[in-house]
Chain A
Amino acid sequence: MNSGLDAAPGIVAIVLVTLATLLIGTWGMRFSRTTSDFLVASRTVHPRLNASAIGGEYLSAASFLGVAGLVLLNGADMLWYPVGWTAGYLLLLVLVAAPLRRSGAYTLPDFAEARLGSRPVRAVCTLLVVAIGWLYLVPQFQGAGLTLQFAVGAPTWVGPVIVGLVVLANVTSGGMRSITFVQAFQYWLKLTALLVPALLLISVWLGDGAPRVPVGGEWLSPLGSGGRGLYVTYSLIVATFLGTMGLPHVVVRFYTNPDGRAARRTTLAVLVLLGVFYVLPPVYAALGRIYAPELAVPGKSDALVLELPAVMVGGPLGELLSAVVTAGAFAAFLSTSSGLCIAVAGVLSQDVTGRAWWSGRRLGGVAAFRLGAVVAVTVPGVLALLVPSIGVARAVGLAFAMAAATFCPLLLLGIWWRRLTDAGALAGLGVGFVGSAVAIGWTVAVGTTESWADVLMSQPAAWTVPLAFVTMVVVSRLTPQRVPVSAGRLLARLHLPEATGQAPQPARS
């Protein structure tokens, strides 16, 4: 793409991030011994460390590259993506965080089985965790390909392969415990890598006499035009506000909190960390409109964050800044991919690889987890090379839409409504999944938003989520005899504060 750029600083940046990731992972490995360490870091992670880790894991390529690119391309209506991705944690906080932690389950399928006592529901949840995880991983890998292509001129398959290998090395060696340190480190790396160049770029902009953004009207408007614009924005709000709680790699992190109270505090800290980070991408987008308008075309816009420092500053300093943002972008792929890999490998090891039909015996916990991790990374890695990219942030948006239409109703009704039944859950999950899958297939195949049907399919959450909720409630009402006998007791457990009785303070580390 940009052959004039010297490859050396980019390569150094990527190598450094990779080495730091592996080193911290190895250091964290000293603490990993048991299966519980691997899956949930034995549930002793302090809120501050955990919040950094959640932030590090959550800020993916879509946040680091995709948001700035989308805003550059489409304007202010795309600011709803980061707003929604942050607000999703507020909904997670008030509706799900503490009860989910108190449920004491390892993974989403565990929660579903504990709540509804049904193997089929568990199997469907496992399938959904894998589907959403892979849907989310593919754009991460594609973003890695783009970054490496831009930074060092490598062919697009190199990025997915390197990210895949580093993630595997880290995840299979130390599991959740070592990954917690890696993720926390990567949040601060990503913030620094976006903040420091942004400050320099702003000073350059001020030095140029603070020129205005040369476009107005449509680009500055926070909505697409007319009724469609309103629909798309509200549908995006539904998908992101409600989808966050259903993302497998987000939810699995909550099990690493010591108790429900810590889960809440962790979530609040995450809100702060995300808010600080998401102020930055729009700055890049606005400066991009002034200094690099040629990037405002589909397919190129995702490279804005990587390219802007070199365009605006130039010389060795520009190259250094480029290397810094490249390092941040690479950290974004590594951390999100690791988190997703852990989540997918976790459920695969419980429900698929741990069962080892091909040999006579079951695989042990850690061995099954490692095998699950290999599968969890390989499949989306291959998909990333085969499927055309529809833009990193947009693809991730579809993963949110699917999570919002499946796990969100299951979690909300499972936590707050005693009369949910296994039949209702199955029907709702099925409707949500099929609706989302059709919409995603349509969007990838058609690729335009000419008609209302295309618009409805490109941003499906506004109709799939209510549909899934209604289905779950109606079918549960029709099958009242299937309400689990233990439902009341379990709900009480989800909502009772752990401190009742002897009131121990949250663990200090």
Chain B
Amino acid sequence: MSQDAGPPPERVRVTGPPRRRTPAARSAEVDDGTRLGGMYVGSLVREQLRLAIGILAVLGVTVGALPLVFHLLPGLATHQVLGLPLSWLVLGALVYPALVALGWAYIKRAERNDADFAELAAALPPDEIVQDER
């Protein structure tokens, strides 16, 4: 336990401020306040949404199509691969690395989108990105 000497209000103060970095380090300059800033933000959102939909489309035609495939080709599920029925091999094990790979692909692209945006924002002329009232 911590030391009992200090009065209670002190204890709150000791742990509050020294926390590592608060996430409020958000850019004050680029918001939707200016026209150009707004355009950039809009394009970032569209870019990220397009990426998300792309990843989900891949998920849909791979994992999402499995029930339909097994339904249409009933023999496939019990087909033996490496001594295991194919359905068990796919659903019990192979699905998981596939999900991780999709997640990894997403993160790489999403972070690149974020970085591209940050670069653009840094290149904006100051009078375009400064918030009108703040």
From 495 to 509 in chain A, residues with beta carbon under 8 angstroms from any chain B beta carbon are 495-504, 507, 509
Q: How far is the CA of A30 from the CA of B2 in the complex (A)?
A: 7
Q: A34-B15, A93-B106, A234-B67 are in contact. Are A271 and B99 (CB under 8 A)?
A: yes
Min CB distance A135 to B, Å, is 26
Residue of B nearest to A177 (CB): B15
Which residues on the B side are within 8 Å of A189 (C-beta)? none
Chain B binder among A1-9, A219-227, A347-355, A440-448 = A219-227
Min CB distance A102 to B, Å, is 8
Q: How far is the CA of A216 from the CA of B78 in the complex (A)?
A: 8
Q: A33-B15, A495-B45 are in contact. Are A83 and B87 (CB under 8 A)?
A: no
Q: A493-B26, A495-B41, A501-B122 are in contact. Are A275 and B100 (CB under 8 A)?
A: yes
Q: A34-B15, A94-B106, A271-B103 are in contact. Are A76 and B122 (CB under 8 A)?
A: no
CB distance B30 to A500 under 8 Å? yes
B68 within 8 A of A: yes
Which residues on the B side are within 8 Å of A233 (C-beta)? 67
CB distance B21 to A501 under 8 Å? no
CB distance A504 to B56 under 8 Å? no
Residue of A nearest to B96 (CB): A275
Chain B binder among A147-155, A262-270, A469-477 = A262-270
Which residues on the A side are within 8 Å of B33 (C-beta)? 489
A24 within 8 A of B: no
Interface residues of A, count at CB 8 A? 68
Interface residue SS majority, chain B: helix
CB distance A491 to B45 under 8 Å? yes
Interface string of A71-94 (1 = CB under 8 A from B): 000001001100100110111011
Which residues on the B side are within 8 Å of A302 (C-beta)? none
Which residues on the B side are within 8 Å of A237 (C-beta)? 64, 67
- With contacts A220-B78, A492-B32, A496-B27 known, what are 16 further pairs, Cβ within 8 A? A33-B15, A33-B16, A83-B95, A93-B106, A95-B56, A222-B66, A222-B67, A222-B90, A261-B114, A268-B103, A275-B99, A416-B49, A491-B45, A497-B114, A497-B115, A501-B28
Q: List 28 A–B pairs whose Cβ atoms lie within 8 Å, in order of A's numbering.
A: A33-B11, A33-B14, A33-B16, A34-B16, A76-B91, A80-B67, A80-B91, A86-B95, A86-B96, A90-B55, A94-B110, A95-B52, A220-B85, A220-B88, A222-B66, A258-B20, A261-B114, A416-B45, A489-B32, A497-B114, A497-B115, A497-B118, A499-B25, A500-B29, A500-B118, A501-B27, A501-B28, A507-B20
